[in-house]
Amino acid sequence: MQNETTPTLRKGDLVKPLREGIYAWRRLTEAERQAWYDRFHEDCRAGRDVPYDSAGESRLAPLDKGVTLTGDTVLTVVRARVAAPDGYSTRPGCCQVFNPLTGETLYVHRRALKNTW
């Protein structure tokens, strides 16, 4: 049985976030991850204090980038039900949406969206 607060979504539906500040994320591209490594190694070679405390372990680039959605952003549903990649695991109960303002495909929790307004 589906929770009453989770909307029934279908591919191609137009949706909005329930409120301001809804968290969405996307996977970083290989070029963005490489740029992170390049910037990190440049800071290390220059002797700058890097804000990543590794405690002696190897440093890994982030896999995801977080995005905060505004309440008036209209998104298009790409995949209505998806277990979204989140770091090195998956997060169930999500939806894949397309943001036409930025051209990004994002993951967001289904319960944080509304399809009627």
**Residue whose structure tokens are 């279908």:** 10
Q: How confident is the model at residue 6 (pLDDT cuts 50, 70, 90)?
A: confident
Q: How confident is the model at residue 4 (pLDDT cuts 50, 70, 90)?
A: low
Mean pLDDT of the chain: 88
pLDDT in tens, 65-94: 999 999 899 999 999 999 999 988 999 999
User: CA-CA distance, 103 to 117, in Å (whole number)?
Assistant: 23
Question: Which residue, 63, 67, 62, 70, is CA-closest to 16?
Answer: 70
Q: What are the residue boundaries of the structural domains of the chain, listed by start? A: 1-28+64-117, 29-62
Weakest mean pLDDT among 2-6, 23-27, 42-46, 83-87:
2-6
Query: Amino acid identity, residue 104?
Result: E
Helix H or strand E segment including 67: strand 64-69
**Residue whose structure tokens are 């976030």:** 17
pLDDT in tens, 33-54: 999 989 888 888 888 777 666 6
The pLDDT, as a whole number, for residue 58 is 67
- pLDDT surpasses 50 at 1: no
At the topology level, CATH places domain 1-28+64-117 in SH3 type barrels. (2.30.30)
Q: 14-17 and 75-86 as β-strands: parallel, antiparallel, unpaired? A: antiparallel
Query: Amino acid identity, residue 94?
Result: C
**Is 24:107 a contact under the CB 8 Å cutoff?**
yes
